[in-house]
Structure 1
Amino acid sequence: MFPRKKVFGSVSLSMMRRVYSNECSRREIKPDSDQGGELASVILQAFLGGLTDECELTSLVRNHRLAQERASHVAV
């Protein structure tokens, strides 16, 4: 059996929760909505990809357009 590897600790988890909560509030989206899930995925993928600084992660999510936002900006 392989030993279990801890991906991130409580400090990292708390930081990601802060970024997530702040951005959900800023965008006025419900955390349990599809947009909230997409935002959580963006944060987690960025963190696992090495973006572990709170300010940099916040900057990334503030500049990230969610699928619904991209769809509403498509020219008809």
Structure 2
Amino acid sequence: MTDRGGVSFPEPANDTNILLALFKKADRIFVKKLSNNDRDWARLDNKHQGGVYIPHEHRDGGFFPALAEKERPDPDAA
């Protein structure tokens, strides 16, 4: 049995099984179609985006935790 994020599957799960289990269990699900720059940063060295871009209207819409300033180990770092 495999466990993926608190959802158990009797056999290795494929993407469809994972999605169906999430739809049954989750109160809300955020779905974003990935654009090229959402993927390219992971495989191309010349890209600077550090992950998937979530537009501010979705990021600040109540689904994601609020952004907060965090203390840095070296506050003088760039």
TM-score normalised by structure 2 residue count:
0.24
Q: Report the structure, 1 or 2, having the larger helix content.
A: 1
Q: Report the structure, 1 or 2, having the larger strand content.
A: 2
Looking at both structures, which has the greater relative contact order when contacts are Cα pairs under 8 Å and sequence separation is at least 6?
1
